[in-house]
Amino acid sequence: MEFTVGNTHSQLGGVFVLRRHISLSILSLLFLSGVLNCNLNAQVAQRSPALGIPQSPPLVGDTVALALEAQNWLVELIKINTTNPPGNEQAAAKYIAGVLAKEGIPADILDLAPGRSAVVARLRSSAIADPSRALLLVAHMDVVGVDRTKWSVDPFGGVIKDGYIWGRGSLDDKSMLAANLAAFIALKRGNVHLNRDVIFLGTADEEQFGDASMKMIIAKYWDKIASGFAINEGGKVVLGKDGKVQYVALQAAEKVSINVTLSVTGKGGHASTPTKDNPVVHLAAAVEKIGNYNTPVHLTSIVHRYFEALAPLEDEETSKWMKVIDTPDRGEHAIRYLSEANPMWNSMMRDTIAPTILQAGFRGNVIPSEARAVINIRLVPGDTIDVLVNDLKKLVNDPQVKFEIAPEGGLAAPNSSLVSDFFSLITKACAQEFGGVPVIPFMSTGATDSAQLRLHSVQAYGLRPFPVNEADDARVHGDEERLPLSSFPKGVDLMVHIVAEFSVTR
């Protein structure tokens, strides 16, 4: 399943799909120069071996003009303030439905809560849908809040300045929303013959996973989005300091977020006559033990593949340890080294526990009768919360400390397959788009809508198709979020070709 730049074709679901590369071929330039609604049949047999990189013509024409249109959709979407809470995603859903209506594509606004809706639209491959083949394009419409005092531009102004599109959602996740919309519309405009249904979905409440989230969409409207494959946020195209794409992390799994509440009750009373019973003391001791607990290492197949593929791109020392992570003699040291080198790597190798809330007391001279703490647990998929909580109970070893697992906690979703046709197609398309860079399977430590889809047997993959460097990536959920203007058309081009090559019959 490793990517191969030299491949000329692949056998995908019985359909012989020719590959493409946009930048190097005279043929591609010819098509770029004017074929928008191309006659596919005439193009099937054409390819060029220029520079040894196999070529095939684009399935749905030029993406340059389309990306400019999509940039405008992105700007308009940023201007619609969908800060969650309260979300107000209905306004964005209506805007998207309007864009689709202009293309002659009917869209459904799916109501989830007052002012909160998802939007869905479908391009049909045949009169009778086969959900197991359908491809779902997912992006969320809500964004996290902003601290306006820390922004130099209006975060909801859709400002384009200094080579960037600025604004909340420019990276997470309205750029993907606009790119998905572009890929979807390209199919319609191309008047192509689809070999599977393609479904566009804008979700709500992704940032809070509350009552208007993907969970609710699946519960209420599954028939509208039932699909075998999905592409969503969750991965990244990593831009190096030299301004070149280093690698693509393609998300096939994610950790599971679960809150656990610790509570201690005891005899409250006058602080002048304390007893051993003080809930504050019991709780503090429990939190201290849990906060410093190193959970057992659990390396999943995806994490193995991740380190294996990342090793050649890292410095000599890091690379050395990544390569021996499996070995019985040096594995333990490797895990320690990598855990200390990068908190994300640590979190990819084990369940993590972060105490996040402490609550006790109301007056300086009164011992409270109750103390509570919340710990946020991120499980490696496959691990179970009951087992971990049992370990924690033993560790704390204090019958006064009660553990309660939050009922709305995430469910451990299975990994998406690393050997599906769609996974190999995305891998190859990314490598081609970015000059043969490695495409690395990735488990994100954060959560996305994909977990819910994976629980419904959807092979969901996470990508953010726009090249972004580490410094800009760190602005996600932070201040001055921005997307490089030059990255946006590349992401649109990539999404168009992933979607077209998976769903169009040549």
Residues in contact with Zn ion by CB under 5 A are 172-173, 233
Question: Closer to Zn ion at the Cβ: 391 or 480?
Answer: 480
CB 186, min distance to Zn ion, A: 23
For 75, the token pair is 């700007």
Number of residues that make up the chain? 506
The token pair at 344 is 């994300």
The nearer residue to Zn ion, 387 or 474, going by C-beta atoms, is: 474
CB of 66 to Zn ion, least distance (A): 23
**Shortest approach of Zn ion to residue 231 CB, angstroms?**
14
* Minimum separation from the CB atom of position 233 to Zn ion (A): 5
Write the DSSP symbol of residue 362: S
| Shortest CB 281 distance to Zn ion, Å | 40
**CA 30 to chain centroid:** 35
φ and ψ at residue 4, rounded to 5 degrees? -135, 115
Closest CA to 183 of 506, 429, 491: 491
Query: Nearer Cβ to Zn ion, position 176 or 309?
Result: 176
Give whole-number Cα distances, 319 to 212, 310, 337, 385, in Å: 43, 8, 11, 33
Is-contact 134 228, C-beta < 8 A? Answer: yes
Choice between 170 and 263, CB closer to Zn ion: 170
The CA distance from 504 to 454, in Å, is 24
Nearer to Zn ion, 82 or 347 (CB): 82
Nearer to Zn ion, 20 or 236 (CB): 236
| Burial class, 223, CB count within 10 angstroms (exposed 0-12 / middle 13-18 / buried 19+) | exposed
Residue whose CB is less far from Zn ion, 62 or 173: 173
Q: How far is the CB of 206 from Zn ion (least distance, A)?
A: 6
Token pair of 39 as six digits: 């006659």
Nearer to Zn ion by Cβ, of 172 and 421: the residue is: 172
Nearer to Zn ion, 165 or 186 (CB): 165
Task: Check the CA dihedral 386-299-472-453 and report its sign.
Answer: negative
| Mode of pairing for the β-strands spanning 135-140 and 198-203 | parallel
> Which string of DSSP letters, residue by residue, matches 410-433?
---PPPPPSSSHHHHHHHHHHHHH
What is the rounded distance in angstroms from the CA atom of residue 196 to the CA atom of residue 199?
A: 10
Q: What are phi and psi of 484, to 5 degrees?
A: -60, 130
Shortest distance in whole angstroms from residue 172 CB to Zn ion: 4
Which amino acid, 274? P
Return the beta strands (E) in 19-155 as ranges: 107-113, 116-123, 135-140
Between 172 and 254, CB nearer to Zn ion? 172
Asked if 442 and 462 count as a contact pair (C-beta separation under 8 A), the reply is: yes
**Residue reference for tokens 């991120």:** 378
Residue whose CB is less far from Zn ion, 157 or 446: 446
Min dist CB 173 to Zn ion, Å, is 4
Distance in Å, CB of 145 to Zn ion, minimum: 14
Assess contact for 241 and 469: CB atoms under 8 A: yes
Structure tokens at 168: 């909340």
Shortest distance in whole angstroms from residue 477 CB to Zn ion: 9
| 261: DSSP letter | E
In whole angstroms, what is the distance from residue 117 CA to residue 110 CA? Answer: 5
Q: How far is the CB of 171 from Zn ion (least distance, A)?
A: 8
Contact present, 57 and 20 (Cβ < 8 Å):
yes
Whichever of 62 and 233 has its CB closer to Zn ion, that residue is 233
Torsion of CA 342, 426, 351, 414, to 10 degrees: 180
Query: Helix or strand or coil: residue 20?
Result: coil
Q: Minimal distance in Å, beta carbon 114 to Zn ion?
A: 23
Strand partners, 461: 231
